[in-house]
Chains A and B, each alone.
Chain A
């Protein structure tokens, strides 16, 4: 469908809904959200340009405002956020899209070469800082012991960082709960000697000294990255990471174990891929099911009308079945079909059955998870060092994995703009899944992130259900967003990654 046809369909659809509003059969909010759902689907499948999708929805908002007795309605005029092709809050990919030169964001400098020069090295080291060794730097009554897990090393031209999980009983000096950067220390202040105090430094094999500044967050455990300042040269052989009087040597010559990468078809065409992506959001956010089912009931016929979705596609039936499983009528979308194996497996593992189960750490309506281990005892960690092209202009880096003894798994990684940053101009985060060596499926959801320069972000992602330390190999599946230009738009990348577990205990 051309832009014109899609816009015509959308405007005609809006006219129909506006008639229903005028007849009292639909609320203005329902009208707006339904138009928005179809606009987002057309945008997300490349049937309609983003600007036009926004424009049509904006026109509907104005028409509704003109008929509303609510003075506050006008507050929305022209001020709603641009349409997102995916439900939920904007993710890191939107940040990347802006970094790629999208609206509202400008990039400084160039990202060119950032992919070619990226290098991920597995690390497995623990730096233990004991209170009695750093007593002079203490301010509280806590015992002050710190265990700093160094998980992986990521270097690219001009920047380098270590993935880190640090247990500290000492509260950070300032809120928000993040150990302060050593760069913020005053010149006359005593040199900090703890992780929480920002006392991390490193020295490379050539004697060059680096400050390590933390970015991330956490509670009992601080999860994130330690950025090397200044940026190191390429080809570092080792780093001696220090905190106070303690240090640990990190070998940077270690090679990541071979990873087999394959590209798999995700769906037949962009429309199926788009629908599957939206549906998979529901697996980890089942509370959205009711609203999503309503939107899909409009989106599916719209995509069929556009020709983007075949009439005999099984995907609408799969989504209908998923909605039914989550306790929402899916028949408004299509006759419920059979769930894909991944969804079935995941729902069974998380206990989300018929909308009445209790997911991992969750109630019946909302699957939730912690974003940091709550148990302050030791972690199990796995070396993970992979860089993958997500197929939409984004490079995914995996730099470490931990499983807390209290049953929570976190993957550390980064998302970077690739050689074609324009291809990353999408609103959707990459969809990530892990399949363990027993065949179990695990969702991978970004729970925290921070920018890494002007062309990337680092993230921590929660794996649900958690991975057992007995897992010797995982399949990591990633699907990029679905911009139409990319030939891999409806494909997913599968990387078979051996896991090498290590523990400090």
Chain B
């Protein structure tokens, strides 16, 4: 079951060379319609030729497709506007150019771990496919291998950072990585949600169960930060009174509301893939139901698992994207319970 099947494709236009090109997200893949032979261009770049900006961007997408920094920086809800612009990124890069940062070049991820390859998007779109988290119809590895934060346990991470205390090159490298994440967020809300979903999906796999333990605080905050606005919309509860912890194991998780009106607290336990399956696809709250899982992903119709009220058992609902024609190619779909499902 692929989380991204509940999302339409999304396009963004980015400057590339002397013009601009479209980058497209479709079925979990980032593709470059303007660069049908991206792999060859990458080779040329490695041999000293200019690397097109689209290629660099796609490489960056691949590198950060399992980077939890995307979740700490990215949007928490539809109303949370991430407004960083390409101009800001360029100005920052210009500031750094000619400084020591120049000695920390961006490099593509290691072979086999970044998911670069000539791909065919799930929808049959020609172009180069770049990472996305989760199985796909392309030829790239289905799931990015752990990198950066992924490969180190919390203890290792702590030791590494404490030892360096962000000195010198580590400091700059980290700043560079953060700038890459921000650059990806400049692609707009549609890509922000999709990249966040990819990261969550990458961390939700069974293969990463061990790694999740080391990133529990970050995952807890990522879940809470995105679930709390939905819970507030659902119940009118103060989002500061909502806490979500990662759920491991079978089932959708648990949810409990305690306290009287005005002092209510909500404690939930949800799997990390709630972020990909539900939140990134715009499900959240649909017609008074809090969505806790997806039974059958799809676009413009899907089947979800939702709570009508605290303490109630989840119900299965068929939902459809509002104005599917308008949703296609846009940011994140809005859903409603389909007439047939009522």
A interface with B by C-beta (< 8 Å): 3-4, 7-8, 10-12, 14-16, 18-19, 22, 49-52, 54-55, 58-60, 62-63, 65-69, 71, 73-75, 77-79, 82, 102-104
Contact = CB atoms under 8 A, between A and B. Distances in A.
Interface in B94-127: 95
Interface string B80-106: 111110011101100100000000000
B328 interface: no
Contact of A11 (B164, B182, B220): B220
B171 A3 contact: no
A59 to B, nearest CB: 4
Interface in B162-182: 162-168, 171-172, 174-176, 178-179, 181-182
Contacts of A11: 217-218, 220-221
Q: Chain A binding site: helix, strand, loop or mixed by DSSP?
A: helix
B84 A68 contact: yes
A3 B154 contact: yes
Contact of A69 (B83, B91, B154, B239): B83
Chain B: interface size category: 35 or more
10 contacts: A7-B217, A16-B239, A22-B81, A54-B161, A54-B165, A54-B166, A66-B73, A67-B81, A68-B84, A78-B166
A18 B185 CA distance: 17
B165 A104 contact: yes
Interface of B: 69, 72-74, 76, 79-84, 87-89, 91-92, 95, 154, 157-168, 171-172, 174-176, 178-179, 181-182, 185, 216-218, 220-221, 224-225, 228-229, 239-240, 243
Contacts, number: 136
Nearest to B232: A19
B199 to A, nearest CB: 14
A50 B160 CA distance: 11
Given A22-B79, A78-B171, A51 B240 contact: no
A103 B166 contact: yes
B162 A62 contact: no
A77 B162 contact: no
Contact of B158 (A49, A63, A66, A69): A49
A97 to B, nearest CB: 9
Contacts of B72: 59-60, 62-63
Contacts of A103: 163-167
A80 B72 CA distance: 18
A74 B92 contact: yes
A84 B91 CA distance: 29
B153 to A, nearest CB: 11
Given A62-B69, A68-B84, A75 B224 contact: no
B220 A8 contact: yes
Nearest to B177: A78
A50 B73 CA distance: 21
Contacts of B73: 59, 62-63, 66
Nearest to B92: A74
A279 to B, nearest CB: 26
Contacts of A104: 165, 167-168
Nearest to B81: A67
B91 A12 contact: no
A483 B72 CA distance: 29
Given A51-B166, A78-B171, 20 more contacts: A12-B243, A15-B225, A15-B228, A18-B76, A49-B161, A50-B162, A51-B158, A52-B154, A54-B161, A54-B165, A59-B73, A66-B73, A66-B74, A71-B91, A71-B92, A74-B88, A77-B182, A78-B175, A78-B178, A103-B166
